[in-house]
Amino acid sequence: MRNITKLFRTLGALMIILTAATTFAMENFGYKEPDAKIVKLVDAPNPPQLSISPQGGKAILVEYSTQLTLEDLAEPKAKVAGLSILKRYNVKQRSYFVKGLEVSDLKTNESKTIKLPPEAKMGFPIWSPDGTKFAAVQYKAGGSSVWLFDLSKDSGKQLSPPRVNSVLLGPFWWSDDSKYIFVPLWNEKRGQLPESPVIPETPEISEASGRVSQVRTYQDLIKTSYDEKVFEYYATSQLYKINVKSGKTTKFGTPGLINYVATSPDGRYSVARILETPFSRNVPAGLFAKRYELWDSKGKLIKVLAHIPVGEEIPIEGVSKGMRSLFWQEKRPATLCWVEALDEGDPNIKAEFRDIMFAHDAPFDKPVREIIKLPMRYSGLDTLDKQDLGLIWDYDRDTKWIQAREIDMGKTNIASECRIIFSRNYNDIYNDKGDLLYYTKPNGERAAILENDEWIYLTGSGATPDGYRPFLRKFSLKTLETKDIFVSGLDKFEDFTGFADPKRKLIVTRREDPETPPNYFIRAVKNNVALEPEAITNFTSPNKELAEVKKELIKYERNDGVPLSGTLYYPLGYKPGKRYPTIVWAYPREYTSKEIAGQVRSTTNKYTRIGGSSILFFLLRGYAVLHNAEIPIVGDPLTANDTFIEQMTAGAEAAVNKLIEIGIAQRGKIAVAGHSYGAFMVANLLAHTDLFDAGIARSGAYNRTLTPFGFQGERRTFWQAQNIYNTMSPFSYADKIKTPILMIHGKDDPNAGTYPMQSERMFAAIKGHGGVARLVVLPHEGHGYEARESILHVLSEQFEWLDKHVKNK
């Protein structure tokens, strides 16, 4: 008996050891989950979105999910030409799916649920121009298809064959008359993809021809002849024109690597952009050589308009030579417009004019017309609801100045003689007058609203020193006078969603406040003033405790007088007078002046919704968070980074001092965290200061010599500014980083410059010098983190790291 008892004791001890070993293994190698309260928040559904019919009166309430699973992310992919293609679906990788649709009558507030295909993964619904129906894609392994939904019915029908190919094009689009849908399909007779050769057909070869080619560090490029075959296999499509009434399908054009198609307002012509071989091994598909073709109403080639060379030689922050930014002019039957560079696309070349806009009228047998030469780079056109009237925008990269001129597109305009309607520094949000509102007529004609040949409508975020106050206003093109129809209050955040009727007598807004989640409201407009709102929806918070989160806008100054701000979130259950472990979450941004850098870019009148891997989850763990703390880098865009370290340090020091001054934080209990360029900032702060006690750096780049042709706002190359590249690289100072740092990176990060190798090398450097660090590489994840398993694991890692090195230090 004694031996048996001894045996059982020995076995019991062994089981304890094995259990402990298993627990250790699961903790370190399995996916972690935080406590149930956090999991509940992560799993909370997104608030539905409202999509209003182009003609008003009806709206679709869209329930969607942005939370994927590891199984979703592990879908077999073809990663070529800078693209991530889902092989079984033949579409680009997706990050959300629609789960439910409900059609509402905005006048009666009656609604009906639309029945979707069983277990459907739907795309976002797109209205027909006449507002009588909508369509959406059902994404399905083996082949996706376009579905048509009629407002008179409560279910839809499959319209296209299950071969949608949205690798280079959108999955479908409507004709202006709402009678047809254009769909790119892959060839049903294309067969199986050739297997990758066991023995490579050729070495991987790149060649320089003696011409300057300064390109950013792109990922997943074509490297072999087999990659070329893979790209052509998945990207080649044949356009079809489908009659939505009869379902009849007709081929439109010929098969090819088509990545842009637009049809003239009268339907007689189309312009198409088609990628050409040989494929580049240095840039992604969007910069491949291409040609522009003009087609007739049946998709038959009329003529080739232009050949555009591969974009390997486009200067940093420059544009391509030749034809670009093509579009059909609204309110004319068939006038094709485009822009060409007058400075060889190089912003470093001094030029009186940088761009020129041309127009060519059907039947294209007369000379091309010049519309205007622009002194700065073309950045867009707003077509107004009057023939030939438009606002053309141009932008200067050195001063960050953007402006809009009024032009007559029916003649040649002299830029210096055109009235400037809007102008500001691009980052000057206080003086942003808003975006023009457009209206789509039942015949598909789309133009910016213009009332009585004078008044346009503008909507914007309404940035003020006290936070954001979204607005809807009218603006006179004659007197430049404004009339506010609606402006959000400071106690609630309410922004304009759309017009509920063609006469613009009813508007829809989306309103929320710190205690109430977003809901939609309808307001009547009388004498150009929005009246009291009536609720359309009544969503309640799935997590009541978030309504108790206290937050405030705090303002402070850098040591050189630059005004700074951020939103301070207090921990759940906050007790006045008590100091808490605190996190500073920030992202450095470049500005040309102190005044613009000091503008407030936060607001406190919104509902606190926490999702994904947000740093705000720490509020439920007893931490305070200074969210979006401003870390401005001020100066001439060419040389601002010469003082990046000093300015970053000054901004962070000012934030820390303010947090201590107001009594929420204490030294020895403060962490810093950031994502992407924010992660770059975190590593630099830990290398150059002793302000923080731990750091979290997600998806960052730490060695700027690996991005030698520019990064973020830096346009000098490594060879032009070697000292700056080295000084700004925290990798250069890895031996100085002794503060604990948690680094997280998606293994499949496709973002230019943030290769996962950046985190791997940084971790090795810190470890090699005796630093305290942890590196978490997430399988199948990209620059952001999408799978539920990954998100929960990231949160757990972050909680454990800061609890150990800050909260319980």
- Residues with a catalytic annotation lie at 676, 749, 783
Q: Which of 330, 396, 565 is nearest to 464 (CA)?
A: 565
In angstroms, the CA 376 to CA 353 distance is: 7
**Contact status, residue 184 vs residue 238, Cβ threshold 8 Å:** yes
593, amino acid identity: S
**Contact status, residue 621 vs residue 799, Cβ threshold 8 Å:** yes
How crowded is residue 465: how many other Cβ atoms within 10 Å of its Cβ? 12
**Residue 46 exposed, middle or buried by CB count within 10 Å (0-12, 13-18, 19+):** middle
Residue whose pair of structure tokens reads 């070993």 in the numeric block: 21
In angstroms, the CA 749 to CA 782 distance is: 4
In angstroms, the CA 280 to CA 257 distance is: 14
**What is 276-341 written as a DSSP string?**
-SSPPSSS-GGGS-EEEEEE-TTS-EEEEEEEE--GGGPPTT---SSSEEEEEPTTSSSEEEEEEE
β-sheet with 270-275: strand ranges across: 258-263, 270-275, 290-295, 301-308
Q: Please give the biggest Cα pair distance in the chain.
A: 109
In angstroms, the CA 676 to CA 699 distance is: 5
In angstroms, the CA 13 to CA 32 distance is: 27
In angstroms, the CA 441 to CA 444 distance is: 5
Residue whose pair of structure tokens reads 């073309």 in the numeric block: 378
Q: Identify the helix (H) or strand (E) that includes residue 230.
A: helix 225-235
Name 404's bridge partners.
393, 422
What's the Rg (C-alpha) of the chain?
Answer: 28
Q: Identify the helix (H) or strand (E) that includes residue 174.
A: strand 173-174
* Size of the chain, expressed as the number of residues it contains: 809
**Contact status, residue 50 vs residue 62, Cβ threshold 8 Å:** yes
Q: Identify the helix (H) or strand (E) that includes residue 694.
A: strand 694-698
Q: Which of 79, 413, 424 is nearest to 226 (CA)?
A: 79
β-sheet with 355-361: strand ranges across: 324-328, 335-341, 355-361, 369-374
